[in-house]
């Protein structure tokens, strides 16, 4: 038998394995370089393309950007605005910026660690306080700002001007007619964008009487001129006066009228229950007119259907026209007089 003195092991397989490893290392390096290039490209694009990083679910840029403004991002990732000559318009210190009309901007920043939104102009003056958790566009006609710490929202035009100082809870938008209906507890306002001006075209109030919930009181106002003349807070007070007065009538507690009048008129109003021994069944056709001769004087009229429940006889489905004169006394609306006329 031949003696085997040495065994030679080939290193061809080992060399092949090293080639594969080198290939993988090369491909990994290429991947890293490619990713770095893509990230740099994305950053560069976002640095000059104001649409690249805006959250389209929150707001739409309304401005046609005649000034050729650009949104820029600094090394800390904060946003600002420059003009077409790269001169600074808005310093880069905002988390988000959205173009509005009239050189206004909706901007977002952190306050005490919480992102909040507000509206500024090109001089960085605050048009609104930073109290909104988000500002949204409704069509191309309206903006609403949702409050940070409570339910509800404010209404603005597309330049960031506050349209109503009320807090709204719900909205319905008719895109075809540029019409927006806003609602809160018992108010409904209809706004229309007419000739680039937002106007209130209709106001509706509705509430149930506390002492008789089946009775529903509605006040509908479609007179645009009247709406423009009457302060919205006065309208709310007027409607409250109606509801409190009918609550006093239906509960036979005329002392409640003290809430809606002054000492001068209280005695005559509280001692004059025009519907004593009556069962009020319906309150309808509530309307309002402003006095042509006396400022801050309003006449409310409504049709009352009721049954008379006397000791000797009962009469069903009587109808009367009830008129209430409401005036402004100092800063409050009060009930001055009432009148009942059989129909």
Domains in the chain: how many in total?
1
- Which helix (H) or strand (E) segment holds residue 31: the answer is helix 12-48
Q: At 59, is the secondary structure helix, strand, or coil?
A: coil
Task: Check: CB of residue 322 under 8 Å from CB of residue 302.
Answer: yes
- 328 inside domain: no
- 322 inside domain: no
- 17 inside domain: no
- 130 inside domain: yes
Phi/psi-derived region of residue 277, left when phi > 0, alpha when psi is between -120 and 50, beta in every other case: left
What pLDDT score was predicted for residue 49? 39
Q: At 199, is the secondary structure helix, strand, or coil?
A: strand
pTM for the model: 0.75
Q: Return per-residue pLDDT of the chain as tens, 343 residues.
A: 445 455 454 455 555 566 666 666 767 676 776 766 555 544 444 443 333 334 444 566 676 666 788 899 999 999 999 988 889 999 999 999 999 988 999 999 999 999 999 999 999 999 999 999 999 999 889 999 999 777 899 999 999 999 988 999 999 999 888 899 999 988 999 999 887 789 999 999 999 999 899 999 999 999 999 999 898 899 999 999 999 999 998 888 888 999 999 999 999 998 888 898 899 999 999 999 999 888 899 999 999 999 998 877 889 999 999 999 999 998 899 999 999 999 8
What pLDDT score was predicted for residue 219? 96
What pLDDT score was predicted for residue 65? 63
Residues 145 and 132: their CA atoms lie apart, in Å, by 6
- 53 inside domain: yes
Instruction: Provide the CA 260 distance to its chain's centre, in angstroms.
Output: 30
Task: Check: CB of residue 286 under 8 Å from CB of residue 302.
Answer: yes
Residues 190 and 164: their CA atoms lie apart, in Å, by 12
What pLDDT score was predicted for residue 19? 65
Q: Tokens in use for 91?
A: 């310093």
Boundaries of domain holding 84:
32-165
What pLDDT score was predicted for residue 44? 47
Residues 180 and 186: their CA atoms lie apart, in Å, by 17
CB-based contacts of 306: which residues, under 8 Å, 6+ apart?
Answer: 275, 278, 279, 280, 281, 282, 318, 320
What pLDDT score was predicted for residue 56? 41
- 157 inside domain: yes
CB-based contacts of 178: which residues, under 8 Å, 6+ apart?
Answer: 139, 141, 192, 193, 194
How many other CB atoms are found less than 10 A from the CB of residue 269?
21
Task: Check: CB of residue 58 under 8 Å from CB of residue 136.
Answer: yes
- 288 inside domain: no
Q: Tokens in use for 125?
A: 């003056």
- 56 inside domain: yes
What pLDDT score was predicted for residue 243? 94
Paired strand residues for 339: 323
Tell me the torsion sign for CA atoms 44, 46, 50, 51.
Answer: positive
What pLDDT score was predicted for residue 14? 55
Q: Tokens in use for 253?
A: 């507690």
């Amino acid at each position: 038998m031949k003696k085997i003195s040495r065994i030679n092991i080939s290193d061809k397989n080992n060399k092949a394995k090293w080639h594969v490893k080198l290939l993988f290392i090369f491909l990994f390096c290429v991947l890293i370089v490619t990713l770095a290039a893509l990230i740099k490209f994305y950053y560069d694009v976002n640095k000059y393309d104001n649409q690249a990083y805006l959250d389209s679910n929150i707001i739409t840029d309304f401005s046609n950007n005649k000034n050729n403004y650009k949104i820029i991002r600094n090394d800390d990732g904060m946003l600002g605005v420059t003009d077409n000559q790269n001169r600074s318009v808005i310093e880069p210190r905002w988390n988000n910026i959205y173009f509005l009309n009239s050189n206004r901007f909706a901007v977002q920043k952190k306050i005490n660690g919480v992102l909040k939104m507000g509206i500024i102009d090109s001089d960085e003056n605050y048009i609104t306080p930073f109290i909104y958790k988000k500002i949204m566009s409704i069509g191309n006609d309206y903006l609403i700002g949702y409050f940070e710490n409570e339910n509800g929202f404010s209404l603005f035009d597309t330049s960031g001007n506050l349209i109503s100082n009320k807090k709204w809870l719900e909205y319905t938008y008719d895109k075809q007619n540029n019409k927006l209906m806003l609602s809160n507890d018992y108010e409904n306002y209809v706004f229309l964008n007419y000739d680039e001006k937002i106007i209130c075209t209709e106001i509706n109030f509705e509430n149930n009487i506390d002492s008789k919930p089946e009775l529903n009181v509605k006040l509908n106002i479609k007179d645009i001129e009247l709406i423009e003349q009457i302060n919205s807070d006065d309208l709310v007070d007027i409607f409250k006066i109606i509801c409190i007065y009918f609550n006093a009538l239906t509960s036979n507690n005329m002392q409640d009228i003290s809430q809606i009048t002054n000492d001068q008129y209280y005695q005559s109003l509280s001692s004059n229950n025009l519907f004593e021994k009556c069962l009020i069944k319906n309150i309808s056709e509530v309307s309002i007119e402003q006095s042509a001769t006396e400022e801050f004087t309003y006449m409310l009229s409504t049709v009352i259907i009721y049954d008379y429940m006397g000791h000797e006889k009962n009469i069903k489905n009587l109808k009367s026209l009830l008129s209430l004169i409401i005036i402004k006394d100092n800063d409050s609306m009060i009930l001055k007089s009432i009148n009942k006329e059989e129909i």
